[in-house]
Amino acid sequence: MQGSLCYCNNVDRVMELLGVQYEPSEWRLFIDSSKYSLKAVLLHKGNVLPSIPIGHSVHMKESHENMDILLKLIRYDSYNWHICGYLKVIGLLLGMQPGYTKYCCFLCEWDSRARQSHYIVKEWPLRHQLTAGTKSENNDPKHTSKISKDFMQKEGIIRMDWPACSLDLNSIENLWAWIKMQLDLRAPKSLDALESVVNEVWDNIFIEFLKPFWESMRKRIVLVKKSCGQKIKY
């Protein structure tokens, strides 16, 4: 066990004890999650053999980070099972946020929240990769749509090319995450209470609190270059 997670990191030995001739390609990894639980089960193709639980926790919140921990502990890289699960789980594995997912399409970065653009913007940026943990979110469709590109070209605005994980280079995202955490802790029950809490949290932000965000930018750029644009710890 690790914390509240009970897991198996030697599937070969389990199969041997069960008397099963094990071939990883004949099994799929089913992952299920809820607000406070996470489980992983091996399913045999065709359901000829019974399912085998290899990971379970009733105290791990559903998140990309926790699923990443689970995959590492059960040594997913050693077996490379095909993963199956609900769309919510697949979205979390791909690094999409839970709840009201902003970029919920797997093929392109269609922005579900940009309602003013839904019947106007016809071309949305394609996803460049579907690597777990790669968010591909900061190339916002409002800026990369054909309409925006035509406008910037007309006005002579030079657009920077952002890597898929450019959230790591945007320190405001750290502030939004902190504010969201404060809202979750206070859990306002009405719109008026939410407005009051947001104003209170915002008014208590000081420059000294923000300094580490921008002071880390040089280090972020170096790490992003080293990772060839992949996700970094920020």
Give the Cα separation of 187 and 163 in Å (integer). 35
Q: Is 95 left (phi over 0), alpha (psi -120 to 50) or beta?
A: left
What was the pLDDT predicted at 26? 92
pLDDT tens for each residue of 78-89: 898 988 887 777
What was the pLDDT predicted at 55? 92
What was the pLDDT predicted at 224? 73
Q: pLDDT 10s per residue in the chain (234 long)? A: 778 889 999 999 999 999 988 999 999 999 988 777 888 999 998 888 999 999 998 888 777 778 888 899 999 988 989 888 877 777 777 665 554 455 556 566 666 656 667 777 777 776 665 543 333 444 555 556 677 677 667 766 655 565 554 555 667 777 888 888 888 888 888 888 888 888 888 888 887 888 887 788 888 778 777 776 666 666
CATH code: domain 6-86 is: 3.30.420
Q: Map out the domains of the chain as residue ranges.
A: 6-86
**Residue 217 Cα distances to 41, 163, 167, angstroms:** 41, 15, 12
What was the pLDDT predicted at 214? 76
What was the pLDDT predicted at 45? 87
What was the pLDDT predicted at 137? 43
What was the pLDDT predicted at 142? 57
Residue 189 class from Cβ within 10 Å (0-12 exposed, 13-18 middle, 19+ buried)? Answer: exposed
List the strands of the sheet with 52-57, edge to edge. 6-7, 52-57, 37-44, 27-34, 82-84
